[in-house]
Amino acid sequence: MIEQRTGTRPRWPLPTSDYWSTPFAESLLQQLNLCPGASILDIASGHGIPAFYLAEQVGATGQVLAIDLSECQVESARAIQGGQLPWLRFECLDMRVLPQHLPRFDRITGNLSVMFFRPNRFEAVQGLVEHLKPGGQLALTFPSLGTFGSLWRRIDQEMAVRGLLAERRRLEAYLAERPSATDARGWLDRLLLSRIVVAEYPLEVATGAGQAFLHHPLLRGGFLDDAYECFEDQSVAEEVMTKVSEDAESFRPLIAQRCVLSAWKR
């Protein structure tokens, strides 16, 4: 459960204008146990969702170290922070190879983080647990296997019609590499963690057809780019994706699976 301040509203709420990071952060907070004075390591922190919220909840007696591999994201978060919440620090670090000098934390969180653990996801989670205090909680979210499944089926169908065998194999390999909720539970079981919860919350992403789909702010620069990378010839990719975009009704509703995993170190 989340410790709330009675009679006051948080100054650093999750932003309502972010239609991707915020819903995933909300699913993380459903499982995260917060209390004043806690120390938190927030990985893949980006521009601060939910690091700012976490820092406000633990208060000045707590500590939040938010890390990201992108210097640009870290600088952006620092600019947003200014001189506020001095117990919150943003640093540029690789969560897959955390330095040994880092302390242990009461909580380790990571919103939309697991996809960045490639290629050795289990080892990455294992490294995080090593920096968790006994009795501490790990909570991570990611879009799990099944996210936008209707879209991938429509793209595969269009590839099949055109006889694009190599492209279909690449798409199949890309989808097979996406971790599932079952995979996540397996990592936690292998690490002998306790009070394991792995839950999925569907999130519908609204989209139009045609250019509205091809340039959707939540899809282009991410999932759609992954589809384009399955093609050797980008002119063919444009033809296929344009055809798919014109048939948006066939893959709506477009559903993402918000997977949240939570576990406690014995």
> Is residue 85 one of the residues assigned to a domain?
yes
Summary mean pLDDT of the chain = 94
For residue 222, name the pLDDT band (cuts at 50, 70, 90): confident
Per-residue pLDDT tens digits for 163-177: 999 999 999 999 998
Lowest mean pLDDT among 2-16, 53-67, 118-132: 2-16
pLDDT of res. 8: 57
> Is residue 131 one of the residues assigned to a domain?
yes
pLDDT of res. 3: 35
User: What is the DSSP code string of the chain?
Assistant: -----TT---SSPPPTT-SSHHHHHHHHHHH----TT-EEEEES-TTTTTHHHHHHHH-TTSEEEEEES-HHHHHHHHHHHTTS-TTEEEEE--GGG--TTS--EEEEEETT-GGGGTT-HHHHHHHHHHTEEEEEEEEEEEE-TTTTHHHHHHHHHHHHHTT-HHHHHHHHHHHHHS--HHHHHHHHHHTT-EEEEEEEEEEEE---STHHHHT-TTTTTTHHHHHHTT-S-HHHHHHHHHHHHTTGGGT-SEEEEEEEEEEE--
Cis preceding-peptide flag for 253 (omega within 30 of 0): yes
pLDDT of res. 9: 62
In whole angstroms, give the CA distance from residue 109 to residue 13.
17
> Is residue 229 one of the residues assigned to a domain?
yes
Question: Which amino acid is present at 192?
Answer: L
For residue 265, name the pLDDT band (cuts at 50, 70, 90): very high
Q: How far is CA 144 from CA 17, 187, 204, 250, 258, in A?
A: 23, 14, 14, 22, 7
pLDDT of res. 152: 97
Contact 12, 53 (CB under 8 A): yes
Question: Which amino acid is present at 7?
Answer: G
Q: Are residues 138 and 212 in the same domain?
A: no
> Is residue 183 one of the residues assigned to a domain?
no
Q: Are residues 108 and 164 in the same domain?
A: no
Q: Are residues 125 and 214 in the same domain?
A: no
Q: Are residues 108 and 89 in the same domain?
A: yes
Per-residue pLDDT tens digits for 200-218: 999 999 999 999 999 999 8
Token pair belonging to 171 = 């798409």
The residues that bridge with 141 in the sheet, in sequence order, are: 260
How many domains does one find in the chain?
Answer: 2
Q: Are residues 55 and 158 in the same domain?
A: no
Q: Are residues 26 and 135 in the same domain?
A: yes
> Is residue 188 one of the residues assigned to a domain?
no
Per-residue pLDDT tens digits for 71-115: 999 999 999 999 999 999 999 999 999 998 999 999 999 999 998
Over pLDDT 90: what percentage of the chain?
Answer: 91
CATH assignment of the domain containing 99: 3.40.50.150
Q: Are residues 162 and 74 in the same domain?
A: no
pLDDT of res. 118: 85
Q: Is the per-residue pLDDT at 38 higher than 90?
A: yes
Q: What is the mean pLDDT of residues 43-51?
A: 96
Q: Are residues 99 and 159 in the same domain?
A: no
pLDDT of res. 247: 97
Q: Are residues 163 and 223 in the same domain?
A: yes
Domain hosting 226: range is: 149-174+207-250
